[in-house]
Chains A and B, each alone.
Chain A
Amino acid sequence: MTNKPDYARYGRRRLMKGAGLAGLAGLAGCIGTGDPEGGSNGGDGSEGSDGSNGSSSSDEDSNSDGGDNMASEIDVWGWDVAARALTITAEEYESENDATVSVEEFGRSAMKDRLQTNLLSGSGAPAVSMLESVDGPSLIDTGSVASLTDEIEEAGIREDFVSGKWEALTVDGDIYALPWDTGPTAVYYRRSVYDEHDIDPDSIETWADFIEEGQKLPDDQYMLNLPEGDLSGVWRYQFRQLSGEPFLESGEVNIHNEKSLRVARNIKEVYDADIAANIEGWTSAWFSAYGDATIASLPSAAWMEGTLRAELPDTAGDWGVFKIPALESGGPRASNWGGSNLMIADQVSDEKKTRGWDYMEYSLAAEEMQLAMYDEYGLFPALETTYEDPVFDEELDFYDGQPARALFAEVAREAPGYRFTADTPEVSQAIETELQRMINGEQSPEEAVQAAAETVAENTDRDLA
C-alpha cells in the first residue's frame, strides 16, 4: 500500500534493525534446515492444509486444470487500511468459494519484522501477504517468496496492470508478486491561498514556474515543505519522473548521472528560492502548517488524500491537484511514490499456494474488487483496466469539484518503473547526507551526486557506472 516519506523508513534505528536482520539471514542459512512441512502448519493450528475438500463442487472456480487441490483455509497478512480492504474481498471470495480466508491486521513495521523472520526461518509465514514495492527485492532475494510468473502468464493479466509496477517485483526475469495499489504523484494545493495570491495552477508547467508563482506568497507563507531529513524522498520521485534508475541492470551504481544531477540542481534551486518551509513530516507542526495553510502546496501521491481527509477534515473542499512540475519545459510530469502488492510465501504447501493465488487473482485482477477497495479505503488501483470506469470522472467535493481521480489515473499510466534493490536504503541514506550538505552550501550539486554515488559503491561493493 502506501508508504511514508523515506526519512521515516530509513532512520538510524531502522538501518540497525536491517543490519540485525542481515545477521539473522546468515544464521538462518546455517539452521534453516528444519522441516518446513512440519513448520508450515505448526503456527496456528491450521491443519486444513490437506486440501481434500478443495474440489468438492466440480464446476466452480473454473480453474484451467480442475485437478488442482486447493486448501480450504488460508491466512492473509496486511496492515492498516490495506488489511481492512482485504476483508472486503475475503468476504466476497468466501461467499463464492468453499474456503475460509482469514485476514489478519498488523502494525506496519511489526508485520515487516515478523514476516521477515518467518520467511528467513522457513516457518510460520501466511499463504498470502502484503509486500510494499520498496521491500520487494530485499525479500525476494532471500529466496523465500514463490514465483508467480507462470500463474500470471497463464491468467493473461500482465497487460491489465500499469507497466511501472512490474520492475520492482521482477528478479532475474521471474515475477514474485501481483500488483495491488500504486502511488501516482501530484501536487496538492490549497485553493483559497492560490486564489488569494493570484497563483494559477494551470500556468505551472515546470519547477521554474512553480518557484516563480511561489514568490507571490507573503513571507510567512510557504509554497511547499522541503524538510531536512526527507530530501532523498524528493530526490527519488523526481529522479523516477525522469526515468532514472539508481542501478544499471548489470548492477553498477548510477546516481551520479545527468538525470540525478538535474534533480539535485532543482532541489537546490527550490531551496535557494526561499519558498520552502522546513518542518519535519508527519509531526503535529506539519499537520498544523497544512491545516492553517502556512504551507500552500504538498507534492505527494494519491494516497495522501486519505490522510488529509482524516486528519484535516476542516480543509475538505479547499484542495486541488495538478501534476508534478516538469524539470524542463515539455519534460515528463508523472512519477510514483509508494504502492503495494500481494505475494505468496514459498514455504506453504502447494494446496495453500493454489488457494492463495486464486484469492489474489480474485482480489487484485478483478475490476470490481479493486474499485471496491479504492472506494472504501482509497487504495489507488494498479489495475489499469479500472481507469475506464466512470468513477474516475466523478467530480469530487474534497477537491471542490475537480475530477482528481482522472488526473491520478493519467499519471499512473505514465509513471515509469523503478529498480528497487536490497541496496535501495543505501541510496537513500547517501543521497540524504550529500544533498543536505549541498543545500547547506558545503558542496555543489555535481559534488553531491558524485559523493553519494561513491559512498553507495563503497558500501555495497558495486562499481560506478
Chain B
Amino acid sequence: MREQRRKDAVWRFLTYAFVITMVVVMMVPLYWMLVAATLPQEQFLQFPPRLLPGTAFLDNFAALQERLDFVRTIRNSVLIAVVYTLLSLVLCSMAGFAFAKYEFKFKEPIFYAILATLVLPIQLLVIPLFLLMAQLDWTNTFRAIILPWAANPIGIFLMRQNMKSIPDALLESARMDGATEFQIFYRIALPTMRSSLAALAIILFLFQWDLFLYPLVILETADMYTIPVGLAQLTGFQRIYYDQIMVAATLAIVPMVVLFLVLQKQFVSGILAGSLKE
C-alpha cells in the first residue's frame, strides 16, 4: 500500500517535471518574441540576448506601420478568416449531416472522393486555382481566397462522424411531428453539435489564418495582404527588420488567442467527442 503510494508520487513528479519542461520549451520562443518586439534592432542583435522587455514597442510599431499598414493587414486577415469560418461551418455541417443521415446513390464513393482530396497539397493546387481566378477576373479579391476552400474535407469528415451519434429515433420523431428536413437539421441536429462546431471553427479559422502561398499569389496589392503575406514582405535582404517582424508577429497572434479563449471549453470537448464514436 505504502509502496504503491510512493510509486504514484514518483510518477506524478515525473509527469509534472515533463509537463513543466514542455511548457517552458513552448513558451520561451513566445516570450522571446514578446521581448524582442519591445527592443530596438541593435539590442535585438546583442549576444547574449536581452531577456527583459525594452521600451521600443511603439517605435517599432510606428516603423512597421509606415512600411506596411499592418493594422489593415490584420483587419484583412480577420475579415477573411471570419467569413470563411462561418461559410465553411454551414457547408461542412450540412454536408456532414447528409453523409451521416441520408441514403443516396454513390454515397460512399462520393464521401471517399472528398476525403481523397486531402492528399493534394496546396502547392499543387496553386497554379490551377490561380489560372481559374485570373479567368474569372477574381485575382486580388477576398472571395478568391475564401471560396475555393469553403467546402473543407476535414470539416465534412468531422461533422459526419459526429452527426452519426445523433439517434435516428430523434430525427424520426421530429419527422412524425411534421418538421421539414431543413428544420430537422437546423432545429434538432445542429444544437446537439455545439462543441463539435466550436472545435471545427477553430480548425477552419486556423487553416485560413495560416494560408500563405495561395494568398501570396492571388493578392496583388499591399492593401489586400493577409498577415502571412504581409510578414513575408518584411524579410528583405540586406536588412531584416527583426524589430518590426516581432511586433507584427506579436500582433498577429492576438485574434487567435482571443478566439481560442472564447471557444476553449467547447474545443476540447469537441475534439474528444469524435473519438468515442463508432
Q: Say whether, besides A288-B45, A288-B47, A32 and B131 are in contact (CB < 8 Å).
A: yes
Q: Is A80 an interface residue (CB 8 A)?
A: yes
Contact partners of B234 in chain A: CB under 8 A: 107
A39 contacts which of B46, B121, B134, B232 (Cβ < 8 Å)? B134
* Smallest Cβ-Cβ distance to B217: which chain A residue: A117
Contact A44 B140 (CB under 8 A): yes
Q: Say whether, besides A80-B238, A108-B235, A20 and B45 are in contact (CB < 8 Å).
A: no
For B34-67 the 0/1 string (1 means CB < 8 A from A) is 0000000110111101000000000000000000
| Closest CB in chain A relative to B123 CB, distance in Å | 4
For B117-134 the 0/1 string (1 means CB < 8 A from A) is 000010110111011001
B127 contacts which of A28, A82, A291 (Cβ < 8 Å)? A28
Distance, CA A109 to CA B216, complexed state (A): 11
Q: Is A341 an interface residue (CB 8 A)?
A: no
* Smallest Cβ-Cβ distance to A36: which chain B residue: B134
Contact A284 B131 (CB under 8 A): no
Contact B131 A123 (CB under 8 A): yes
B236 contacts which of A20, A44, A108, A122 (Cβ < 8 Å)? A108
| Closest CB in chain A relative to B70 CB, distance in Å | 14
Q: Is A276 an interface residue (CB 8 A)?
A: no
Contact A42 B139 (CB under 8 A): yes
Q: Say whether, besides A31-B127, A42-B134, A110-B216, A79 and B139 are in contact (CB < 8 Å).
A: no
* Smallest Cβ-Cβ distance to B240: which chain A residue: A282
For A305-331 the 0/1 string (1 means CB < 8 A from B) is 011001100000000000000000000
For A74-92 the 0/1 string (1 means CB < 8 A from B) is 0000011110000000000
Contact A44 B127 (CB under 8 A): no
| Closest CB in chain A relative to B60 CB, distance in Å | 16
Contact B229 A110 (CB under 8 A): yes
Contact A80 B232 (CB under 8 A): no
- Interface stretch, picked from A1-9, A65-73, A420-428, is A1-9
Contact B135 A39 (CB under 8 A): yes
Contact partners of A303 in chain B: CB under 8 A: 238
A310 contacts which of B130, B135, B216, B239 (Cβ < 8 Å)? B239
Chain A 271-317 interface residues, beta-carbon cutoff 8 Å to B: 282-285, 287-289, 291, 303, 306-307, 310-311
Contact A118 B233 (CB under 8 A): no
Contact partners of A113 in chain B: CB under 8 A: 213, 216-217
Contact B124 A1 (CB under 8 A): no
Q: Is B220 an interface residue (CB 8 A)?
A: yes
Contact B127 A80 (CB under 8 A): no
A124 contacts which of B44, B130, B236 (Cβ < 8 Å)? B130
Q: Is A374 an interface residue (CB 8 A)?
A: no
A3 contacts which of B45, B237, B239 (Cβ < 8 Å)? B237
Q: Is B3 an interface residue (CB 8 A)?
A: no
Q: Say whether, besides A44-B140, A109-B232, A306 and B238 are in contact (CB < 8 Å).
A: yes
Contact A31 B131 (CB under 8 A): yes
Q: Is B177 an interface residue (CB 8 A)?
A: no
For B208-240 the 0/1 string (1 means CB < 8 A from A) is 000001001100110000000100111111111
* Smallest Cβ-Cβ distance to B130: which chain A residue: A121
Chain B 44-98 interface residues, beta-carbon cutoff 8 Å to A: 44-47, 49
Contact B235 A124 (CB under 8 A): no
Contact A79 B237 (CB under 8 A): yes
* Smallest Cβ-Cβ distance to A305: which chain B residue: B238
| Closest CB in chain A relative to B103 CB, distance in Å | 37
A284 contacts which of B45, B130, B137 (Cβ < 8 Å)? B45
| Closest CB in chain A relative to B43 CB, distance in Å | 10
B126 contacts which of A24, A44, A79, A307 (Cβ < 8 Å)? A24
* Smallest Cβ-Cβ distance to A21: which chain B residue: B123
Q: Is A38 an interface residue (CB 8 A)?
A: yes
Contact B131 A310 (CB under 8 A): no
Contact B217 A118 (CB under 8 A): yes
* Smallest Cβ-Cβ distance to A79: which chain B residue: B236
Contact A287 B131 (CB under 8 A): no
Contact partners of A32 in chain B: CB under 8 A: 127, 131
Distance, CA A105 to CA B67, complexed state (A): 10
Contact partners of A106 in chain B: CB under 8 A: 232-233
Chain B 100-123 interface residues, beta-carbon cutoff 8 Å to A: 121, 123
Q: Is A23 an interface residue (CB 8 A)?
A: yes
B135 contacts which of A38, A79, A283, A285 (Cβ < 8 Å)? A38
Chain B 229-269 interface residues, beta-carbon cutoff 8 Å to A: 229, 232-240
Contact partners of A173 in chain B: CB under 8 A: none
- Contact sample, A vs B, 30 pairs, CB 8 Å cutoff: A2-B238, A4-B237, A17-B123, A31-B128, A32-B131, A34-B134, A42-B135, A42-B137, A42-B139, A43-B220, A44-B140, A44-B221, A80-B237, A82-B237, A107-B232, A113-B216, A113-B217, A114-B216, A120-B127, A121-B127, A121-B134, A124-B139, A124-B217, A284-B44, A287-B45, A288-B46, A289-B47, A306-B238, A307-B239, A310-B238
Nearest 8 pairs between A and B by C-beta? Answer: A80-B236, A110-B232, A288-B47, A20-B123, A107-B233, A107-B232, A285-B47, A80-B237
Residues of A near any B CB (own CB < 8 A): 1-4, 17, 20-21, 23-24, 27-28, 31-32, 34-35, 38-39, 42-44, 79-82, 105-110, 113-114, 117-118, 120-124, 282-285, 287-289, 291, 303, 306-307, 310-311, 378
